[in-house]
Chains A and B, each alone.
Chain A
Amino acid sequence: MEGDIAEMGKFIGVGLTAIGMGGAAIGVGNIAGNFLSGALRNPSAAAGQTAMLFIGIAFAEALGIFSFLVALLLMFAV
Chain B
Amino acid sequence: MAEPTANGVGMPQLDVTTFSNQIFWLIVTLAVLYYIMSRVALPRIASVLADRRGTITSDIAAAEEYKQKAREAEEAYTKALADARAEANRIIEAARAEMQAELDVQMEKADAEISAKAAESERRIRDIRDSAMDMVSEVSNDITVDILSAFDAKADKARVTSAVSERLKGGA
Contact = CB atoms under 8 A, between A and B. Distances in A.
Within 8 Å by CB, do A and B touch in the complex? yes
Query: Chain B CB within 10 Å — which of A72, A77, A78 has the most?
Result: A77
Contact of B11 (A7, A10, A76): A76
A77 B14 CA distance: 8
B27 interface: no
Interface size band for B: under 10
Contacts of B11: 72-73, 76-77
Contacts of A72: 11
Contacts of A73: 11, 14
Interface residues of A, number: 8
Interface string B1-32: 11000000111001000000000000000000
A43 to B, nearest CB: 29
Interface string A1-34: 0000001001000000000000000000000000
B17 to A, nearest CB: 15
Nearest to B8: A77
A77 B2 CA distance: 6
A10 B1 CA distance: 10
Nearest to B4: A77
A78 B11 CA distance: 10
B161 to A, nearest CB: 129
B12 to A, nearest CB: 9
Interface in B77-132: none
A18 B156 CA distance: 173
A72 B2 CA distance: 12
A78 B14 CA distance: 11
Contacts of B1: 7, 10, 75-76, 78
Contacts of B9: 76-77
A77 B1 CA distance: 8
A57 to B, nearest CB: 24
B147 to A, nearest CB: 132
Nearest to B15: A77
Interface of B: 1-2, 9-11, 14
Interface of A: 7, 10, 72-73, 75-78
8 contacts: A7-B1, A10-B1, A75-B10, A76-B10, A76-B11, A77-B9, A77-B14, A78-B1
Given A10-B1, A76-B2, 17 more contacts: A7-B1, A72-B11, A73-B11, A73-B14, A75-B1, A75-B10, A76-B1, A76-B9, A76-B10, A76-B11, A77-B2, A77-B9, A77-B10, A77-B11, A77-B14, A78-B1, A78-B2
